[in-house]
Amino acid sequence: MADLTRTDVAHLAALARIDLSDAELDRMVGELAVILDAVATVQQAPIADVEPMSHPMPIVNVTRPDVVRSSLSPEDALAGAPEAEQQRFSVPRILDED
């Protein structure tokens, strides 16, 4: 089994958009190693010709008639926004400056 390094965990945290502190990173490397050891046992199960199961019940596509119905008002939709402006979500810049 591949060992997770501190660099790996830092990379995963960046992918997951979590700004971990150095102390958190140090602790998490050790904890994840223990958990990964335990969960990797799935690979020892007799699963060679087994069909993966993503969902517990048979899934069918569900459709509904295409009719207009009420939805959230702009006030309701924006009520929980950290910042709103002109009936829109106000967000930090999304592009780099250079």
Q: What is the largest CA-CA distance in the chain?
A: 58
- Does 81 bind other proteins (CB under 8 A)? Our answer is yes
7 or 89: whose CB is closer to other proteins? 89
Phi, psi of 20 (to 5 degrees): -70, 140
Binders of other proteins among residues 4 to 63 (CB under 8 A) are: 4, 8-9, 12-21, 24, 28, 31-32, 34-36, 38-47, 50-57, 59, 62
Which residue, 7 or 79, is less far from other proteins as judged by CB?
79
Backbone dihedral angles phi then psi of residue 84, each to the nearest 5 degrees: -135, 150
Selected from 23, 67, 68, 94, the binder of other proteins by CB under 8 A is 94
To which residue do tokens 């050790």 refer? 30
Which of 70, 76, 86, 98 is the binder for other proteins (CB under 8 A)?
A: 76
Rounded CA-CA distance 88/70 in Å is 19
